[in-house]
Amino acid sequence: MKRIIEICANSAQSCVEAEAGGASRVELCAGIPEGGTTPSYGEIVMAKRLTSLIDINVIIRPRGGDFLYTEAEINSMLLDIELCKQLGVHGVVFGCLTKEGDIDVPLMQKLIEAAKPLSVTCHRAFDVCRDPFKALEELIALGCDRILTSGQQSDAVKGIPLIKELVEKAAGRIIIMPGCGVRDTNIVQIARETGAVEFHTSARSIVYSQMEFRNEKVPMGSNSVSSEFETVQTDRKKVALCVYGEE
């Protein structure tokens, strides 16, 4: 059977791969090592130009780290949402918390109103909120379309018990979408044990640089990067295994 798969796409080319593999939707992000940040204007435009069948959701997250935002960051998010509306994407993805760890309902309402008529997903800010069941009801009341969650654990397999409870309590009022560590090797288990019907995965493979001359003594970024002559990109074959894999 074909599953509803959302791909966490780190580039326009990853969107192409996601579409070729049969995914229903992408969440387009930059800054993957930080958990995803808002992609550039150019990346969004090229993702739109290079695809025709897949829905494109854009993450609205001005930085990595926590989900308590300053006034300047909020205004940046509003501008990015307006840009996404102008570019005609399918939806936007964001999440905001108070300093006490609750959903920032007034701010979420402001962003959701600004985003209309785009689809809205609350991202994994949900996974670090204080009370997931209170947050669930608040996000339903706000009109969010779905919640991306690992069940407040480091990966969705560990989070299966909470995800199952959330699916049951949501009762069709909002989509609960497991994400983080979802693979073709465990998606059947996650689906069976949670009752979820949409899934979020990266389905990436390493892409090796075509550079012949290399000065590896001069890093351009963090020393934690294994090689600056390797990147990762969505792999259409891995996408297809998640979309069409056997039950």
Q: What's the rounded Cα separation, in Å, for the pair 108 and 216? A: 44
136: its two tokens = 């669930």
Q: What's the rounded Cα separation, in Å, for the pair 59 and 216? A: 32
pLDDT for res 172:
97
pLDDT for res 1:
58
pLDDT for res 220:
73
Per-residue tens of pLDDT for the chain, all 247 residues: 579 999 999 999 999 999 999 999 999 999 998 999 999 999 999 999 999 999 999 999 999 999 999 999 999 999 999 999 999 999 999 999 999 999 999 999 999 999 999 999 999 999 999 999 999 999 999 999 999 999 999 999 999 999 999 999 999 999 999 999 999 999 999 999 999 999 999 998 888 888 888 887 777 766 545 677 778 899 999 999 999 976 5
pLDDT for res 211:
85
Is the pTM here over 0.85, yes or no?
yes
Class of domain 4-244: alpha beta
